[in-house]
Amino acid sequence: MIGKFFDIDKELLAVDKEVMELCKPYFDRVDEVQQYNQLKVLKAFKENRISAQHLVGTTGYGYDDMGRDGLDRLFADIVGAEDALCRHNFMSGTHTLTVALFGVLRAGDTLMCATGRPYDTLLGVIGVDETEENYGSLKDYGIKYQQVDLLPNSEPDLDGIREMAKTSNVCHIQRSRGYSTRKALSLEQIGAISKAAKEGNPDIIVTVDNCYGEFTHTEEPCVYGADLIIGSLIKNPGGGIAPTGGYIAGRADLVEKCGHRLTAPGTGREIGCTMDVMRSMYLGVYFAPMITANAIKTSIYASCLYNKIGFATDPHYTEDRNDIITSIAAENAENLIAICQAIQHMSPIDSFATPYPSPMPGYDSDIIMASGSFTMGSSIELSCDAPVRAPYTTFMQGGTTFDASRAAVLYSAQKVREISNKA
């Protein structure tokens, strides 16, 4: 079918057929998780009595916005939390993480990152490697930072976490890999980190950067000891429909503190109009299990296909998925750029555009980013990006429809093979 619409080499189409057969049992498992999560979401909609009135926004201060407050309750139920802020006011995952950390940390406290150096854009928030400019990082407010690196086998250093927790107030866990080569953490690993941290300090607050991990399993980290989970709505839980936003979910007292940091101390979560975004927000959450499943299938397919043409990928297509990302060892800058450009050229939006590496705020290397998406920067839609630096690993994620994403991945593989054949 793909060959009818796009010029794909016959030999590669044969590889595609083989890959689809190899992936089938793993797709079946994804479908099982999707079915469970979809029914869980439907039940939450019913129990929270979501009505047409919830889809209508407000203006001004947003007092008594039933759609906003209803979405908070709905999302909390879905992820197994006491309470949640699921709001369009959050501009990105980094912004949401910033609100959460500033919400629960106070001057003189210590933040411990239990999974090593955090994602690039969080470094400025914390004050790691800060430049001379005083932008108001955690460090500027007298909050100290320390980290426990992962072990050489990429497993959490539970003994180190347990010991460092004694002098920490918040234990932060990054579930996904960011621009590193480690694997995404499993729920069991998150649970083990939470347990170790609280053995070292029973009062410690465990926060989880849950970006890219939502709906990959039937449970979320709240069930495994996390006090707060944080994520973006232009990733998994927005279902490719929410135009912006993020969420903070977990312990009710901590969520309340974060609400006062999101708006202003004393007003908290009681204000914030929703204008005309509520329908998209609810619809995004409703479709999130299906869209996430398509993204996971795309990830499995990409891993298997690139394996078949000679590239190392992580996770392997046979491994369990804890996020929606597949990393591809492109081996050199030329291959890396070619993969990203090919994904852009097979995107529904701006397919005629060609991305090139360039500086991006919050990163210390030039970044190439393919994201021909309906929502700018949405990584639940098929995208591919990478820092152009050794070891030249590119990160592919998303895919709202598997059939279109499969064609894009296949096209990117063809472009890389063309480079190899010229060499």
Answer positive or negative: Cα dihedral of 175, 304, 423, 357. negative
Q: Of 241, 275, 309, which one is at a domain's C-terminal end?
A: 275
Q: Is residue 244 part of a domain?
A: yes
User: Which residues have a Cβ under 8 Å from the Cβ of 418 and sit 6 or more positions away?
Assistant: none
Name residue 260's amino acid.
H
Same domain for 350 and 228: no
Same domain for 417 and 326: yes
CATH of the domain at 380: 3.90.1150.60
How many other CB atoms are found less than 10 A from the CB of residue 21?
Answer: 10
Same domain for 123 and 228: yes
Same domain for 267 and 355: no
pLDDT band at residue 115, thresholds of 50, 70 and 90? very high
DSSP SS3 for 381:
coil
Q: What are residue 343's phi and psi, to 5 degrees?
A: -60, -40
Q: Is residue 50 part of a domain?
A: no
Q: Is residue 398 part of a domain?
A: yes
Reported as a single tens digit per residue, the pLDDT across 5-44 is 999 999 999 999 999 999 999 999 999 999 999 999 999 9
Same domain for 359 and 253: no
Q: What is the mean pLDDT of residues 144-157?
A: 96
- Which DSSP helix (H) or strand (E) runs through 163? helix 158-164
Q: What is the pTM of this model?
A: 0.95
Same domain for 191 and 321: no
Q: Per the structure, how many domains does the chain have?
A: 2
pLDDT band at residue 423, thresholds of 50, 70 and 90? low
Same domain for 147 and 125: yes
Q: Which residues of 274-287 are buried (b: 16+ CB within 10 A; e: fewer)?
A: beebbbbbbebbbb
Domain enclosing residue 408, as ranges: 2-39+286-422
Contact in structure between 254 and 103 (CB atoms under 8 Å): yes
pLDDT band at residue 408, thresholds of 50, 70 and 90? very high
Q: Of 214, 247, 275, which one is at a domain's C-terminal end?
A: 275
Contact in structure between 238 and 289 (CB atoms under 8 Å): no
Judged by phi (left if over 0) then psi (alpha if -120 to 50, else beta), residue 384 lies in beta
**Residue 167, CA atoms < 13 Å, CB-side half-sphere:** 9
CA separation for the pair 264, 255 (Å, rounded): 14
Same domain for 308 and 255: no
Contact in structure between 175 and 231 (CB atoms under 8 Å): no
Judged by phi (left if over 0) then psi (alpha if -120 to 50, else beta), residue 275 lies in left
Angle at which helix 66-79 crosses helix 278-308, to 10 degrees, equals: 40
Same domain for 348 and 295: yes
Q: Of 245, 275, 305, which one is at a domain's C-terminal end?
A: 275
Same domain for 65 and 30: no
Q: Which pLDDT belongs to residue 130?
A: 59
Same domain for 271 and 134: yes
Same domain for 130 and 87: yes
Reported as a single tens digit per residue, the pLDDT across 321-377 is 999 999 999 999 999 999 999 999 999 999 999 999 999 876 778 999 998 999 998
